[in-house]
Amino acid sequence: MGGAHSHGTHHTAAVPTGRLPRRLLLGGLALAALATVVGLVALWPSADRPSVPYAAEGVTFPEATVVEVGEPCPVIVSDPALAPEERVSFPEGCDELVVELVSGDRRTVRMPPGVAGSGLRAGDTVELSRIPGEGSAPTTYAWFSIERSTPLLVMAVAFALVVGAVARLRGLLALVGLGFAGAVLWFFMLPALLDGGTGLGIALAGSSLIMFVVLYLAHGPSVRTSTALAGTLIGMVVIAVVGEMAVRAARLGGVSAEGTELLWTYAPELDFGGLLTCAVIVAGLGVLNDVTITQSSSVWEIRAAGPQLTRREVFVSGMRIGRDHIASTIYTIVFAYAGTALGVLLLVSLYDRGMAALLSDESVSEEIVRTLAAGIGLVLAVPVTTGIAALTVAGPTAPGGASAAPS
């Protein structure tokens, strides 16, 4: 009788919860954290980087109040046979702006084409560049930019309030993590790139540090978060490998971006190919993080709703969610890149060449490589994260046993 009772109790007990996969997961993350620290120490930028003055000596940027906005200039297109820079001209007396300086002096400056149509009106604040004259020459003022700090600050505060109201503490912690990510980018990754460090190593070290802090800060330390972190790191490595191979195979030099000429002059140590590889990795971080944390949470919710499901059944259910997520996120990646490169796409669409030929343009090819590398890493991160989550989530219970509690 006692033996039979013991036998029956054995059948209703919970199946082991997969402690070995959890230990392997945490051990792997510990090694990744160690590698991140080593990479940060090895690639940390020196403190003696040369600084470049923003403007010539004596040039200042005073603020002024708009008094009157002139009419926008009509575009005059001359002989189409001329070179593009000679084909378009703007008449005198339009696109002019009357401003009043703090001293009370009034000046008339010429605005760039299109600024008058941006909604600029009397009472707005603009920045001018004040260029002192040489010798007896008078001081001149020129257009610099519109002062936009107030509307940007209002938008930032509104964003923080909305995030806090909807996501509450977790959303506010995510904003703190976002600030930390910006600090890593500004104080480590950018200076290290300017020091001539390898873009691949800098991107992996900096991105890993960001993901460790951001994920645990926003979602709390747990096996569920660790699973998402592992999937994110693996996806990041995939993006890095695919991006590096694509940059080399496509012979991309990373020199199509605006400002490349100045970087060539002031940062001769910069590896432009490595810069492009770094950009590919960083660009895929946000959407990769979104996918992995969603997949990990989905597996935990599936286990809570179906405590008797086997790990294989949990994985299959999680992959159904993952496939839908992949389909929608691919659109997100493509449209995000298309939006940022819309001006370039408009420009190249004016050229009298076929679409296939335009794909070889460096600026277009860079966006394609960024999109496809991030897409490959994203797609592969889904089954990897789902598999790790299915192995590390609490095990199934037999009928009549206690439900597996989410970890």
DSSP output for 249-307: HTT--S--STTHHHHHHH-TT--HHHHHHHHHHHHHHHHHHHHHHHHHHHHHHHHHH-T
What CA–CA distance (Å, rounded) separates 108 from 131?
14
112: its two tokens: 């760039």
| pLDDT tens digits, 111-170 | 887 787 778 888 899 999 998 888 778 888 998 999 888 899 999 999 999 999 998 898
3-state secondary structure (DSSP) of residue 144: strand
Answer yes or no: is 278 within a domain.
yes
Cβ-contact 31, 54 below 8 angstroms:
no
Answer yes or no: is 404 within a domain.
no
Q: Beta strands 63-69 and 125-131: pairing type?
A: antiparallel
Answer yes or no: is 353 within a domain.
yes
- In a shared domain, residues 98 and 236: no
What CA–CA distance (Å, rounded) separates 147 from 334?
32
Answer yes or no: is 161 within a domain.
yes
DSSP states of 99-124: EEETTS-EEEEEPPTTSGGGT--TT-
- pLDDT given for residue 270 in this prediction: 81
Answer yes or no: is 104 within a domain.
yes
Instruction: Count structural domains, the chain.
Output: 2
What sign results for the dihedral spanned by CA atoms 152, 158, 161, 167?
Answer: negative
For residue 92, give its domain range.
Answer: 63-147
Report residues of the chain scoring pLDDT below 70. Answer: 1-18, 49-51, 55, 74-93, 254-261, 348, 352-359, 398-407
Best CA proximity match to 291, nearest among 183, 374, 198: 374
Last residue of a domain, one of 147, 163, 198: 147
Answer yes or no: is 126 within a domain.
yes
Best CA proximity match to 307, nearest among 395, 386, 387: 395
3-state secondary structure (DSSP) of residue 96: strand
Last residue of a domain, one of 147, 173, 199: 147
- In a shared domain, residues 356 and 373: yes
- pLDDT given for residue 189 in this prediction: 93
- In a shared domain, residues 320 and 272: yes
Helix (H) or strand (E) holding 129: strand 125-131
- In a shared domain, residues 106 and 160: no
What CA–CA distance (Å, rounded) separates 294 from 317?
13
- pLDDT given for residue 388 in this prediction: 95
pTM for the structure as a whole:
0.79
- In a shared domain, residues 189 and 126: no
DSSP states of 29-87: HHHHHHHHHHHHHHHPPPS-PPP--SS-TT-B--EEEEEEEPPPPPPEE--TTS-HHHH
- pLDDT given for residue 133 in this prediction: 82
Mean pLDDT, the chain, integer: 82
- pLDDT given for residue 7 in this prediction: 44
Answer yes or no: is 246 within a domain.
yes
When computed from its CA atoms, the radius of gyration of the chain, rounded to whole angstroms, is: 28
Give the bridge partners for 106, in sequence order.
Answer: 100
What CA–CA distance (Å, rounded) separates 385 from 322?
10
